[in-house]
Homo-oligomer: A and B are copies of this chain.
Amino acid sequence: MSIVLASASPRRRELMQMLGVRDLVILPAVGEEKAGRALPPDELVKALAAHKAREVAEKCEKDDIIVAADTIVWHDGQVYGKPHTEADARRMLRGLSGDTHAVYTGVCVLRGGQELLAAERSAVRFRTLTDAEIAAYIATGEPMDKAGAYGIQGRGSLFVEGIEGDFFNVVGLPLCRLGLMLKELGVTLL
């Protein structure tokens, strides 16, 4: 039996290792994300996570446990994905400045015929940023591969006054929830 992480995210891999998971197999889903963008955010991330988990499950052994997740930043009724350009990142960071947004992560855990699916929400409060701070942050390169154009576990921490909810959900994997889901499928991390 292996735990298979259906994600290419180095941050999710590090979180699984932080939990002491041994024999972790990394097998990212490659299919297009097909969930309808019209769904509410919690339904959207659940649909995307389930899609990834089911795709990867087809390449795995029957007893393997597949973990998939999808994270979005949600602000003013819009999904903030990964920025395509620096101008994109600047626009997102200006939008988040001085305001509270939500981060949703959907998690799907599959084993044999069993499928568990959940979504977790965290609120993140940004302090007011100056254009100079936004420019300096973009120059570090940190925003470019991250939903919402910031990393809370990096220099983006300097912008975050506080959160409400699971911190690791903002990083990309709600660990407390994931631990309970794995337990339900017979895997004890503690």
Give chain A's interface residues, CB within 8 Å of chain B.
18-20, 122, 127, 133, 136-137, 140, 152-155, 157-168, 175-176, 179-180, 188-190
Contacts and interface: CB of A to CB of B under 8 A. Distances in A.
A155 B122 contact: no
A97 to B, nearest CB: 13
Contact of A19 (B122, B152, B158, B164): B158
Contact of A176 (B153, B158, B175): B158
A133 B176 CA distance: 13
A175 B190 contact: no
**Best-surrounded residue of A152, A155, A162 (most CB of chain B within 10 A):** A162
Q: How many chain copies?
A: 2
Nearest to A154: B18
Given A140-B20, A165-B162, A157 B133 contact: no
A52 to B, nearest CB: 22
B190 A158 contact: yes
A189 B175 CA distance: 30
Contacts of A166: 160-163
A189 B155 contact: yes
A20 B154 CA distance: 9
A160 B137 CA distance: 30
27 contacts: A18-B154, A18-B155, A18-B157, A19-B155, A20-B140, A127-B176, A136-B190, A137-B190, A152-B167, A155-B189, A155-B190, A157-B176, A158-B175, A158-B176, A158-B179, A159-B176, A160-B167, A160-B176, A161-B166, A161-B176, A162-B164, A162-B165, A163-B164, A163-B166, A163-B167, A164-B164, A167-B167
